[in-house]
């Protein structure tokens, strides 16, 4: 099975560059499952139902997210209604939405997508390691292909999650820092891993935000509203090929357009 994962998509620039390249990438790589982290899609903070529907119309199969999923309050009812948009599974269970999606690909194969969030330098949540165990136990045994978006700040926590889940899932790909890492690998147990997929958004910026706004914050320490930048949009993501029979990864490559 060939999977395309698109990193944190930031604002209008990020959405535009995804729309520009998505179909070509899907055709070029014969993609069967497309996943996109959407938590920054609405002007850099959160996502709206309209934007989520737009992504699905373009051919995204599953939307993952992170701590910014709660920024736009109108997404709350949508999270509960649409099983293809995820929030991290280790938020309290009575929060809107879910952290695990089970669906069929275009080739009618069943797959599972799990969304987790780290706790180091992040909002307080339940332990993602133990929640991962509980969520994996819910997945029917016949489903072999399992993809994990590990949304976290600390590289150490994401690396640890990769080793913790090695051999139990097909891929663990990190999100949140917006900086793509050059550590794509297949771990000994057959799990594809990369610490961060990077962002799809304006790289003439500071991780997607207008650079002058961020520099001013560093210089003055005065809080101010951040706005998404718009220049030099790039798509960053990861391509993973998985043996559908075993769930083991065969190949992982960084994608940049």
For residues 79 and 57, give the distance between their C-alpha atoms in angstroms, rounded to a whole number: 17
81 vs 231 pLDDT, higher one: 81
For residues 194 and 159, give the distance between their C-alpha atoms in angstroms, rounded to a whole number: 8
- DSSP code string of 90-152: TS-TTSSS-SEEEEE-TTS-EEEEEEEE--TTS-----HHHHHHHHHHHS-TT--EEEEEEE-
| Strand (E) or helix (H) holding 163 | helix 155-165
Planar angle of CA 57, 62, 63, nearest 5 degrees? 90
Question: Active-site residue numbers?
Answer: 68
pLDDT in tens, 181-199: 999 999 999 999 999 999 9
Q: Could you tell me the residue range of the domain that residue 170 belongs to?
A: 2-256
Q: Which structure tokens are listed for 12?
A: 């209008």
Looking at residue 53, its pLDDT comes to 98
Collect all residues with Cβ–Cβ distance below 8 Å to 154 and sequence separation of at least 6.
118, 120, 121
pLDDT of 231 above 90: no
Average pLDDT over residues 220-243: 92
- The CATH number of the domain holding residue 226 is 3.60.21.10
Average pLDDT over residues 96-120: 96
Question: Which residue, among 8, 5, 16, 76, has the nearest Cα to 232 in the 3D structure?
Answer: 16
- Confidence category of residue 230, pLDDT binned at 50, 70, 90: confident
Looking at residue 253, its pLDDT comes to 98
Average pLDDT over residues 212-225: 90
Please count the structural domains in the chain. Answer: 1
Percent of the chain with pLDDT over 70: 100
């Amino acid at each position: 099975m060939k999977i395309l994962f698109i990193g944190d998509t930031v604002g209008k620039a990020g959405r535009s560059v995804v729309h520009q390249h998505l179909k070509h990438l899907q055709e070029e790589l014969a993609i069967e499952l497309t996943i996109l982290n959407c938590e920054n899609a609405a002007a850099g903070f959160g996502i709206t139902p309209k934007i989520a529907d737009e992504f699905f119309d373009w051919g995204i199969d599953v939307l993952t997210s992170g701590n910014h999923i709660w920024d736009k309050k109108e997404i709350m009812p949508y999270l509960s209604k649409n099983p293809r948009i995820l929030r991290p599974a280790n938020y309290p269970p009575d929060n809107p939405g879910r952290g695990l999606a089970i669906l069929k690909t275009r080739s009618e194969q069943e797959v599972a997508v799990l969304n987790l969030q780290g706790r180091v330098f992040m909002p307080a949540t339940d332990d993602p390691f133990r929640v991962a165990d509980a969520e994996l136990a819910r997945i029917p045994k016949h489903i072999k292909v399992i993809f994990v978006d590990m949304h976290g700040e600390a590289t150490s926590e994401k690396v640890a999650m990769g080793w913790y889940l090695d051999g139990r899932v097909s891929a663990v790909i990190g999100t949140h820092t917006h900086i793509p890492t050059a550590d794509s690998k297949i771990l000994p147990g057959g799990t594809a891993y990369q610490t961060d997929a990077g962002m799809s958004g304006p790289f003439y910026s500071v991780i997607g935000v207008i650079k002058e706004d961020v520099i001013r914050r560093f210089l003055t320490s005065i809080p101010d509203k951040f706005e998404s930048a718009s220049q030099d949009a790039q798509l960053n993501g990861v391509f993973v090929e998985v043996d559908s029979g075993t769930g083991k990864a065969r190949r992982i490559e960084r994608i940049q357009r």
